[in-house]
Each structure stands twice: as C-alpha cells, then as structure tokens.
Chain A
Amino acid sequence: MHACIVAVITALDFDHVSHEYATPDGRPYRVIDDVSLAISAGAFVALVGPSGCGKSTLLNLAAGLLVPTAGKIRIEGEELCGINRHATYMFQEDALLPWKNVRGNVALGLALAGTNRADAEIRANEWLARVGLAAFASHYPAQLSGGMRKRVAMAQNWILERSQVLMDEPFSALDVHTRLLMETELLALWDQPSDQGLGSRNAKRTVIFVTHDLEEAIALADEVVILSAGPASHVVARHAINLERPRNLLDLRTSSAFEALYRSIWSVLREEVVKSQQSAAHRA
C-alpha cells in the first residue's frame, strides 16, 4: 500500500443539493432538501433512513438519472452533467436484460463501449468465474435463482472498472442467508481491487450503498450517513464505522463493538423512523 502518497480525493460531492418533483395535483414535493455531503474516494458509505426519505432519489441524483432542482453535484471534481460516467448502478429490482444470456449480460457494458466481441467475452468469462457462475454462462436470467441473478448483476457492474459503485438496496429481495453470502462477496470484490485494472484502477472503488437495514449498513460500510424522515429529507448525522477489515460477516453482528455501534446509531435513526411513522399514520 502506498497510503503515504494517496491524498484524500473527493469522489462525490453534493453541494447544497435539493430535489423537487410535481405531484399529480401539480404541487411541488420536495424530496431532498439542501443536502451537502462529500464522499472521499475509495470509501464505502451506507445511506440509511426511514422509508420514503429520498435515499434512492439521492442515489439517482448521483447517477445523473435525475437532475437536482437546486445545488450542484461534482464527480471527481467536475460538475455532473448527464449520466455519471464514473459510476455503475446496481438496482434493487432485477435489471438484467432477460433476452440476453448471462454472458451477454455481463459483457454488455464492454460491448456498449465498443470492445470487440471476443475480448468482451473473455473478460465476461473471467468475471463469471469470479462470481462462481462459469457453468451458467449460456443460461437466461429467467432460469436463475434470485441470488444468482444478483451475482450476474454484480459482475455486469464490476466488469466496467468504474471508480464508483452505486447500489440501491441491492439485496433486499433476497432471503437472509443468500443475502449474507452476497454481502460477503460484495466486500471481497471491494477489498480486492481488480488486478487487471485500467492502469489507474488499482485503488478501491467508492461505494454508495443505500439500505433501510441499519445492521447491513454497519456491517458493510466505513461510514453510515443517516437521512431524516421525508419530505424535505436532509443529512441528520454521519457516523464512522471503525470495525477492522476484513470483516467476517458471520460473526460480526454478535460482536460487542458491533452492538455498541448499532445502539448508538439506532438512537439517532430511531427518531427519524418514529417521525416517518407518525406522518404515515397522519396521512392514512
């Protein structure tokens, strides 16, 4: 490690960002209100908050899929305009192309960038081996289990060697055990940056991981960012997670350090969850 010469670079910078959209009856609804948040390169950051707090909106803004109604987003120093080309995005829902087989799905990003077919397939095969799906290269997504589809989606994203990985509750639809397995695999991918990277890509990627599950957030991340209950969601607190790595997710959750962190962060998050439940009850 050349830690001594690595300066802390801001990978993603929200600068007083707000986002509104028009409700069906024409009134503006403010999802995100004046969020300023700098995320340094190589960090694994989890965004947590009660349902409907705009976590996904914040991620979509970072991806460039949404444009903020106020404020600026800077990606590696440059103002974001259009799609964020430094990032890949792993969605909560199934986002694989059902008409492409597993290999075709994994190779898609390379094909779109104009890599020739043979090279793209070789790289895709390498990634399929890495996520343990080499034997399923010719299967179609409909023929795979939920966990396997998530692995394909991970390979589809990580093959692109982009410096940022945006993840929107990627494992929330999986059963508990599959989920634990996928979390472990995700950390392994992140901890061991690709060796055949594009030269500059030997550093860890920046991960922004949206989840409503505080346990998952603490188990995975370097830092947990808590968003307030919506509407007009903003950052309530940022909490560093200094559990040592590599982490063993099987045992981590019962360790005393984990429990202490959980208790102290939950006391903050709890308030927001209560608020969101009250406003939900109010609406109902």
Chain B
Amino acid sequence: MRERAAVAAWRAGLAVVLLGGWQYAARVGAIDPFFLSRPSDIAERIWMWVSSAMLWRHLAVTLEESVLGLVIGGILGVATGFVLARSPFAARVLEPYIMMLNAVPRVVLAPLFLLWFGLGIWSKVALAVTLVFFVMFFSAYQGVREANRVIIDNVRMLGATERQLVRHVLFPSALTWIFSSLQVSLGFAMVGAVVGEYLGATRGLGYMISQAEGTFDTTGVFAGMFVLSMVVVSASAGVSRLERWLLRWKG
C-alpha cells in the first residue's frame, strides 16, 4: 500500500517536473514554442476541442475504426491461430507465407487500402486489421500449442468431443496469451486507424493531426498526440481489469 502511494507520488512529481521544465524553457526562450509549443497552449487547445465538441466528432470516428479493426483482426487472428495450431501440416505449409505477409511494412499498404476501400472508415479499419491480426494470430497459435497435454488427455477421457475440447481447454488456456497480446493489439489498432486517417481522410484524430501539421500548428499536433495516448492508456486499464476478472482462477 505504501509502495503504491510512493509510485503515484513519483509519477505525479515526474509529470510536474517535465511539464514545468518545458513550460519554463519556453517562457525564458530556451526553446522556441513555434517548434515545440508549450504545455499551457496544448492544454488550452485540448480544452477548446473538448468544449466545442469538435474533439468528440473526430474521436468517435477514430474509436469506431479502432474497435472494428480490433474486433475483426482479433477474431480472424484467433480463429486462424486455432485452426493452424490444430493442423500442423497446414501450419507448415503456410508458415513462409505468414512470415512474408507479416514482414510487409503496413504504412506502404495504406495508400493501397485508400485506393481499394475509399476515403471512408474501411480503409483505416483494413489497416488496423493487418496490424492486429498477426499479434492475435501468433498469441492464439502459441496459446493452443502450449495447452497442457495432461489436461487435454484428461478432458478427452472424460468424454469431450473436439469442439468441447476447444471450448473447455484450448480456448481458456489460450486466453492467457490472447490477453497478454490484447494490450499490444489495442495500441496497434489505434495506430492503424490514425495512420490511415493521417494519409487520407476527412475525419478522425489522424486527420486533425495532419491538418495541424499542414499549417505548422505544433500545438495542434501535440494536443492530438496527447488525446490519442490518453485514450489508449484508459482503454488498456479497462482491458487489464477485464483480464484480472477473466483470469481470476490464477489465484
């Protein structure tokens, strides 16, 4: 308990020192606010966005794209991971292809997706899916392969069919792995959505940031970045709580 309080105090202190130092340096002219803005301006800008409802409109679009990317990429990744973990032959056949696809830098895909799916949300969703898919795929694949052999035999002896085996053993056992990668996937889904918006969109946080950059508005860029990271941090906290509840059996 005391350690937790100390950690919180140090965290707050660190924020004060960093932001205060930044503010002070900008004030005495050690750094040029044109290039680096300053905390007070950024806070003011965020407040302006929040109060004018402009932020919510753009944030809602980005969140929608991220959630769709996370869900679609997650389901596809987990399903593929399960299927390949259960059929080693197919896994060996597909291994080089999966490696190759995973090696493609996603940013170069973004313009292609714009071409294929248009300027709307689906090109961003597609980009998020390509990022999330592989993370979820690898963890589900690993999770199923690492499932305890003895527990599998036990459940088969108790009368499980292949489907019951998946439901009662393989899925819960893969869940640990899937959750540990969900944090990463969540960040990736946001990155996919924002990069997609950044490269071509009419709405979304990425669009806001790119508009700000287009007018050398560093305050707008930093404000967008701050909002983005706050969203990811709070979503991660939600996932952690869900994880603690679902994995409560670990005792």
Task: Indicate if the CB atoms of B169 and A93 lie closer than 8 Å.
Answer: no
Number of A residues, CB within 8 Å of B: 29
In the complex, chain A residues 103-140 whose Cβ is within 8 Å of any chain B Cβ: 108-109, 112-113, 140
In the complex, which residues of chain B have a beta carbon less than 8 angstroms from the beta carbon of A65?
153, 156-157
Expressed in whole angstroms, the Cα–Cα distance for A143 and B168 within the complex equals 20
B250 — which chain A residues lie within 8 A by C-beta? Answer: 98, 142
- Give Cα distance in the complex from A93 to B153, angstroms: 11
- In the complex, are the beta carbons of A89 and B251 less than 8 A apart? no
Tell me whether A112 and B164 are in contact in the complex, defined as CB-CB below 8 angstroms, given that A88-B157, A93-B150 are known contacts: yes
Instruction: State the majority secondary structure of interface residues on A.
Output: loop
Q: Is B154 an interface residue (CB 8 A)?
A: yes
Closest to A159 in B: B158
Q: Tell me which residues across on chain B come within 8 A of A93, comparing CB atoms.
A: 150
**A194: Cβ under 8 A from any B Cβ:** no
List chain B residues, Cβ under 8 A from A142: 249-251
Asked if A38 CB lies within 8 Å of chain B CBs, one says no
Chain B residues whose CB sits within 8 angstroms of the CB of A98 once the complex forms = 249-250
> What residue in chain A is nearest B156 (Cβ atoms)?
A83
Residues of chain A contacted by B168 (CB below 8 angstroms): 97, 100, 108, 112
**Smallest distance from the beta carbon of A2 to chain B beta carbons, Å?**
30
Residue of B nearest to A112 (CB): B159
B157 A100 Cβ-Cβ under 8 A? no
Which residues of A in the span 57-78 have a Cβ within 8 Å of any Cβ on B? 63, 65
Given the known A-B contacts A89-B153, A91-B150, are A140 and B159 also in contact in the complex, defined by CB atoms under 8 Å? no
Given the known inter-chain contacts A97-B169, A109-B159, A112-B158, please indicate yes or no for A91 contacting B153, CB distance below 8 A. Answer: yes
Output the nearest chain B residue to A142 by Cβ-Cβ distance.
B251
A151 to chain B, nearest CB (A): 15
Contact A160 B251 (CB under 8 A): no
- Tell which of B164, B168, B175, B250 has the most Cβ of chain A within 10 Å: B168
B175 / chain A contacts, CB cutoff of 8 Å = 99
Select from chain A the residue with minimum beta-carbon distance to B173: A99
Known pairs A99-B172, A100-B249; A94 contacts B158 (CB<8 A)? no
Residues of B within 8 A of A140 (CB): 248-249, 251
Q: In the complex, what residues of B have CB within 8 A of residue A113's CB? A: 159
Closest to B248 in A: A140
Are B249 and A89 neighbours in the complex by a CB distance under 8 Å? Answer: no
Interface presence of B151 (CB below 8 A): yes
Would you call A97 and B150 a contact (CB within 8 A)? no
Instruction: State in angstroms the CA–CA spacing of A113 and B164 once bound together.
Output: 10
Give the docked Cα–Cα distance between A220 and B47 (Å): 77
CB of B150, distance to nearest CB on chain A (Å)? 5
Minimum C-beta distance from A83 to chain B (A): 6
Given known pairs A100-B249, A140-B251, A143-B251, the reply for A94 and B159 (CB within 8 Å) is: no
Chain A min CB distance to B229 (Å): 33
Q: Is A101's beta carbon under 8 Å from chain B? A: yes
Report yes or no: A88 in contact with B158, Cβ–Cβ below 8 A: yes
Report B152-182 residues with CB < 8 Å from chain A CB. Answer: 153-161, 164, 168-169, 172-173, 175
How far, in whole Å, are A101 and B168 apart by their CA atoms in the complex?
Answer: 13
Most chain A CB neighbours (cut-off 10 Å) among B158, B159, B248, B250: B158
Shortest CB distance A222–B (Å):
23
Q: What's the Cα separation between A91 and B153 when bound, in Å?
A: 9
- 24 A-B residue pairs with Cβ-Cβ distance under 8 Å, sorted by A, are A91-B150, A91-B153, A93-B150, A95-B150, A95-B153, A95-B154, A97-B169, A97-B172, A98-B250, A99-B175, A99-B247, A100-B249, A108-B158, A108-B168, A112-B155, A112-B158, A112-B160, A140-B248, A140-B249, A140-B251, A141-B249, A142-B251, A156-B158, A157-B158
Interface set of A (CB-CB < 8 Å, partner B): 63, 65, 83-85, 87-89, 91, 93-101, 108-109, 112-113, 140-143, 156-157, 160
Across the A-B interface, give the 6 residue pairs with the lowest CB-CB distance, nearest first.
Answer: A95-B154, A142-B251, A109-B158, A140-B249, A89-B157, A99-B172
